[in-house]
Each structure stands twice: as structure tokens, then as C-alpha cells.
Structure 1
């Protein structure tokens, strides 16, 4: 049975040599595009490949579509094929930020209909803390033929979000830290604030003190509180650029609340149009 949400370090360690498993290093830093590749070169899980959030997993920038626009589906299909991911491949994504970057690859694969993808719970941080080995050599590339078709019902665009300002049918969940949500500080984007009416669910609240995801029951209670009766099908997630918002999507799935959607352009796209309203406080 494929793993579709999380995988623990013991399970992954036992399957590192499995040719039907592909492990992907997704480390990234919003403030330093070179960070992930440099960290991968210093040391990564044995056999892991690296996919770059700012190139491999990102579309073309127009100046109005945010910092990490989704790539065209066929371009992503080509990237995944070159990474050795085929129809029967179990993918494991990891990072060093509690899954904040890895969850983006998790969501993208599911967007293309590939459900056999899981995030390493605790990431490389837990792997190293447990004394497990790292490697510095990159594995030999092994091409595959990825098959997938984008399910655009899983996402919304800026037009949908703008129309919802009046309808208020969808519940917007902002995954950024509270100070960014309130517009008190903004270390990355040129304008601080939030989309009007959005609620705050910082992705850090999905994790326990050990850096792993909270149990499903605890996550369910958390989301029930913030959603206040709204069903998951009404929920739209966003963040700064559509990457860390996927952490809340994953957390809701773990909690047994499937069916929420992603606003991929997120805050960085929203503020690219000065006519769009913002909210602070």
C-alpha cells in the first residue's frame, strides 16, 4: 500500500535501496535561492536527489504571478520524469523546516494525480539527530516516464479570491507567522498585511515540540477550532508564495479533513496588483 501522507525515519531507512522509491531533498530558503543546493552538496540522505524550489518546482515569473508560481503541468511532468519518478514510484520528500518545503512537492504530485508521495516526518533534522548517515555524492540519474494530469479543482486563482471578498463562501487560511499575518513585519515581500477576511493558522502549529506533525486527533481539534464549522471543501490556503501553505493542506489531510484548496500565487501575487485590497492589524 503506498504511503500518501507521512513516513517515519525507521520506515525510510529500511527502504533507501528500494528501486521503486525516490527520495527528494526539497530544502530551500525564501531569502537565499542558493541555500538548498548548497546544503544538499554538504550532505543529504543517501540516494536522495535534489529538486530546486526556485527552478525545478517553480514556473516562469511574470512579475505579477508571485514568487513561486506553479509550473506548467507538462513542464513539471518532464521534471519528474527526469527525476526517475514513474507511475509506480513511492516518493518521499524531506527538508529541514518541518516539512514547509517538502509539503509543496507532496501537493504538486497529488495535483498531477500521483498519490504515492509522503513527507518525511521530522525531516533531515530528525534523521541526523538519530545518528543516521548522510551522503555527499549525487545518485546517477535514472529517467522514468511520469504520467499525470493536473486536477485544477485542487487550486484557485486570484480572481476567485477577489470574488470571494464579497461572497465570503470560502474560508482563507494564512499559513504565515502571526506578525506577518497582522502586517507588523514583512521580511520578504514589499508590502505587509494579509488578504481581507483571512484567518491565521501558522504552519508551526502543526508540529509538536519534537518537530514532527502532531497526532491526527490533535490536528483535527486545532482545525475544528479555527474553521468554526466550515467544511474542508470551503477552505483555501495561502502563504507568502504558495509553498508553506501546502503544510496546512497536508496537516488537514492528516487530520481527516481532505478537500481543501491552494491559492498558489498567495500573498506575493495578491500584492502585485495595487488595486487589490489588503488588511492589517
Structure 2
């Protein structure tokens, strides 16, 4: 059985125990402390997990105009995945300790490369630990390079700033902002040199995809929540830097809704050009 959205702790435990062909990635990260995720990983991670660094592995270097976490070049991402041992059609599981906020980025990137069997561990590392399952230390290395080859994307083509600007007039799609409501409304925040949101956008905070236990809400609840803000409009997914927008993409996939198009540059790219319009307020 292939997992393409979420995988439960018990299912991953059974796969690892049976020696199933699964590659696990720890995506631990902390904004403002980019080295801390690797430090946490080294102190304890799911056995066999490789570390995926958001800045170094799951993004390309920003140039001041393309947002904080630009998409990596496809060729560079493929090379890194092979170096981690990824093979064709191998099941991938990504996790973190932040409700899937960072793991969802790897989920989206692999689907962008045409790799279907990739899932986020529901509840992440906290759920694994709550189940009394072991962690290991150190940094396991692959025994050999993988033979992964990219295919046709399984996600819609991403949009750029020009597309989003044009959409303000055409309203062909609804921009859905995954940031918290305070940032969306325009309240001061150290992550946002310019506060506010893209005109016409709606807000769906990515953490609202999760229940009190840190696991994703049931599919019907997610579908109802997204439909309430999108109606039947297609979505453009954005956030601060194109990362937690992938969490909304994952939640929409869990809900069985049509996939939205990611705006990778997101708010951090949008505000790099002062000519681009900015709105404030909760609507």
C-alpha cells in the first residue's frame, strides 16, 4: 500500500519493523535559528531518518527579490534526493515537530517532481514519542545513491508574482494565505518588513488544519473549512515564504479538494517590490 497524503504512527512503525522499503526524512526547523533543527535531529530522530534542512535542501538561496525560501532548482533537488538514497517508487515519509509545517514542503516538492508515494507523518515526532516508540541519535548515511528519476508534476504549475498581480484584476482564482490571522490583518511582526496581505486574499491559517492532538482534522471537516473560504473558486496558495502554504495544499488533498497552485515567493517576495499593492484588515 502506498501512502500519498498522511501516514499514521502505527503504519510507519509496522513498515520499519517489517523492513519495508521506506525512506524517512526529519524536517525539523526553526525560523530565526536555522541550525537548531539539525541539532534537535542529532539528539534524537525516528530510526533511519535522514535530515532535510529547509534552507539548504528544500529551498534555493534567496536573492532579496524572490522570497525567503525560493523553490530549489529541480536538478539540484533530484541530485540531493539521490544522495539520500531515494529510489524509484520508494515510499517516502516526512515529519517534524511542528504539525507538519516543514514536512509538508518536502511532500509538495516530491509531488512536484512526480513522485507519488510520499506522505507526512500525522502528528509528527510528538505522536511517535507519545506512542512510546524509540528515537536514535547520530546521522545515518545511505549505503548507496538512489536511482530516483523525476517525472511529470503531480501538482499544478506554480504561479509567480506577475500571475498573482494579474489575478487581482481578473479574479480567476482566490488567493489563500496560510499565515496566522494577525499577520494577515497587518499587525506588526518581525517576519514581515511590510505588514498586510495581497489584495483580495482570504485567510486560512495552516494550524487550523490540525486538531488539539496535533493531527490533521478529518477529511470532511477540512473540506468544510476550505469550502467556507474558497467556495468553488480555484486557489492560489501562499504564506510568508511558500512553506506553510504547502500545509494547506496537503490538507486540501486530504479533503479530496482540487489542488491549488502554489505561489512559492509568497508574501516575502510580494513585498520586495514596493509597487505591488498591499491590503490590511481581516477581510
Please report the TM-score for the alignment, with normalisation by the length of structure 2. Answer: 0.95
Match of 1:155 among 158, 173, 189: 158
Write the distance in 2 (CA, Å) between the matches of 1:259 and 1:28: 26
Q: Where does residue 12 of structure 2 map in the other structure?
A: 12
What RMSD over aligned residues (CA atoms) do the two structures have, in Å? 1.3
Q: Where does residue 220 of structure 2 map in the other structure?
A: 217
Q: Where does residue 172 of structure 1 map in the other structure?
A: 175
Write the distance in 1 (CA, Å) between the matches of 2:172 and 2:65: 25
Write the distance in 2 (CA, Å) between the matches of 1:189 and 1:79: 30
Runs of 4+ in structure 1 over 6 Å off: none
Q: Where does residue 59 of structure 2 map in the other structure?
A: 58
Q: Is the 8 A contact 1:220 1:255 kept in 2?
A: yes
Give runs of aligned pairs for residues 1-281 of structure 1, distance below 5 A. 1-16=1-16, 18=19, 20-141=21-142, 142-149=144-151, 151=153, 153-230=156-233, 234-281=234-281
Write the distance in 1 (CA, Å) between the matches of 2:62 and 2:157: 21
Write the distance in 2 (CA, Å) between the matches of 1:32 and 1:254: 31
Write the distance in 2 (CA, Å) between the matches of 1:258 and 1:26: 26
Please report the TM-score for the alignment, with normalisation by the length of structure 1. Answer: 0.96
Q: Which runs of 5+ in 1 are unaligned?
A: none
Q: Is the 8 A contact 1:86 1:145 kept in 2?
A: yes
Q: Is the 8 A contact 2:123 2:214 kept in 1?
A: yes
Write the distance in 2 (CA, Å) between the matches of 1:258 and 1:79: 30
Write the distance in 2 (CA, Å) between the matches of 1:61 and 1:187: 18
1:67 positional shift:
0.4
1:150 positional shift:
6.0
Write the distance in 1 (CA, Å) between the matches of 2:259 and 2:7: 21
Q: Secondary structure at the match of 1:139?
A: coil
User: Deviation digits for residues 66-99 of structure 1, max 9, x if unmatched?
Assistant: 0000011101100111111111210000001101
User: Deviation digits for residues 90-139 of structure 1, max 9, x if unmatched?
Assistant: 00000011011000000000001001000000000111122111100222
Q: Is the 8 A contact 1:31 1:188 kept in 2?
A: no
**How many matched pairs?**
278
Write the distance in 1 (CA, Å) between the matches of 2:157 and 2:188: 30
Write the distance in 2 (CA, Å) between the matches of 1:261 and 1:81: 26
Q: Secondary structure at the match of 2:105?
A: helix
Moved more, 9-18 or 235-244: 9-18
Write the distance in 2 (CA, Å) between the matches of 1:137 and 1:200: 40
Q: Is the 8 A contact 2:197 2:280 kept in 1?
A: yes
Q: Secondary structure at the match of 1:154?
A: coil
1:228 positional shift:
2.3
Q: Secondary structure at the match of 2:106?
A: helix
